[in-house]
Amino acid sequence: MQRSTMAFMERHGGGGSLVWTHVLVVVLVVLVAARPCAGRGNRDIIHDDTETPKQPGCENSFVLAKVRTWMDGVEATELVGVSARFGETIKHQALEINALMLAVPSPANSCDASVLPLTGRAALVRRGECTFTKKARMVQAAGAKALIVINDKEDLYKMVCEENGTFLDINIPSVMLPQSAGDTLEAGLLRDETVKILMYSPKRPVVDISEIFLWLMAVGTVLGASFWSAWTAKEAAQEHYRNIKEGGDPYHYDTEHDTNKDVVDINVVSACLFMVLASVFLLVLYYFMSQWFLILLVILFCIGGFEGLQTCMVSLLSRWFPQAAGTYFSVPFLGSVSFLSLTVAPFALLFSVLWGIYRNLSFAWIGQDVLGISLILSVLQIVRIPNIKVSAVLLSAAFVYDIFWVFISPLIFAESVMIVVARGDKSNGEGIPMLLKVPRLYDPWGGYSIIGFGDILLPGLLVSFCLRYDWVAKKSLFNGYFLWTSVGYGLGLFWTYVALNLMVGSGQPALLYIVPCTLGTVLFLGWWRGELKSLWTKGEQISPLENYMDSTRIHDRPHR
């Protein structure tokens, strides 16, 4: 019997869908384990002064500082560093009249009084051999107006003061630069070029429009996936019911056309195992992350993105080209594949490959978001939760997972494991691709607003379930659960960005805010309405199959 509506067999291209089902489930584990915290894609500041008390003259707030540079009068690359706890604070505006000539003191480590005058200049010294405050005092005594310290690695390290001291006598601004940036300045001086620098720290806007776009993308993806999932379930039920109406056996429905065979229902055990596997994979990334491992993640993302993009395109185009979607060919290893899938596949493959090759270009974020959203939509059609009990276990485990690997892991590993992995410290700074990102348009510091796939996928499972439940239970919009859970997701994501701004841009585990706003909303409403027991155990199975449809309309509907 030819299908009257689009279902999983067509959406995945035919008999090979089971292969892609397993591929996408594997990719799902990788997406959740490797996802970064929601945040800004700027370089983080590494520090070890969280317990260092502020002292007189050593109580400045740490801020990122830009360093404009000129080589022989020609403006060169602008560098980024971090200010010190001591000395004059960095000005917010960059006035060229305040630019300073750069010089290297003698001795170069600035641990002793300089024999070279530094009057009216900025001193360039390397980290090590004595304290930061001693270096600042030595160059200040030689007449320097500013201090630039070159770090011994690429991290931005916060310069603090030694304990039990007073540092009111230091009144010049100090900035630390990463090693490569400092080497650039030093190389210019070694070439006898005239090097000038100007340090400033522009204020970033409280809210960037990119965060609004990212919020809309995340919420829109969850809503779109929910309606797609519910509509697919409804069409599957209609197909099954129509088969019964035509005299088919309801208990021996043709397995070749069983539209649920590609759906993976998560149970309590698999929910717990899922987060354990995610934690193990995160540790693997933490200990073994390298450039080749990153390439492996990019390949996995491209495979998942290819399948996701193909699935979405076939599902959309099949409405306009039903004949192409209903014509099948036998393909080795994949089985029966529709003509439409074969037509779309080369485009999806080319798109994924080109993104993988050119992923570091400035506009590559567009392709990453297209592939990412397509992958999320596809995964949310395959992986489903049958009731609220499973969702409660899964989201609670993810809630603990986020908090542990962001906030508690530093107590064990001396650094936040999830932030280190997301930042790409061990892969030459290239971040993992398992995220949606949008460039910060009005931020003078640039970078991206980002959110991990897991922060969309895991709550999306709950929101999708709520819509399917509402349709089965014939609930109205306001009396159901979908509307309020969707609002809860939007509010949870909103509070994530509020926390980001209050925490001065440090990465935040989005599920810390999203889980209480989504799962908490469903549990409270279910308890208030006296439906929690049904939600907890039966889920979508509360009503017979006929609740999905108007049987009269189905009986009279012509076959295609």
- The catalytic residues are 402, 455
CA angle 31, 34, 38 (to 5 degrees): 95
Distance CA 138, CA 98 (A): 22
DSSP secondary structure letter of residue 481: S
Tokens 């019997």 locate to 1
Distance CA 88, CA 460 (A): 49
Distance CA 105, CA 85 (A): 22
Query: Residue 492 is encoded by which pair of tokens?
Result: 């949870």
Query: Residue 223 is encoded by which pair of tokens?
Result: 């809503």
3-class DSSP string for 31-45: HHHCCCCEEECCCCE
Q: Does residue 438 sit in helix, strand or coil? A: strand
CB 378 within 8 A of CB 307: yes
**Strand positions, DSSP E, 78-145:** 79-83, 100-103, 121-126
The distance in angstroms from the start CA to the end CA of the chain is: 9
Distance CA 296, CA 452 (A): 18
Tokens 């940036």 locate to 181
Candidates 486, 144, 427; CA nearest to 288 is: 427
Residues paired with residue 265 on neighbouring β-strands, in sequence order: 384
- Helix, strand, coil tally for the chain in percent (to 5): 50, 15, 35
Q: Is the peptide bond before 107 cis (omega within 30 degrees of 0)?
A: yes
CA distances from 141 to 118, 130, 161, 469, 485 (A): 9, 16, 18, 74, 63
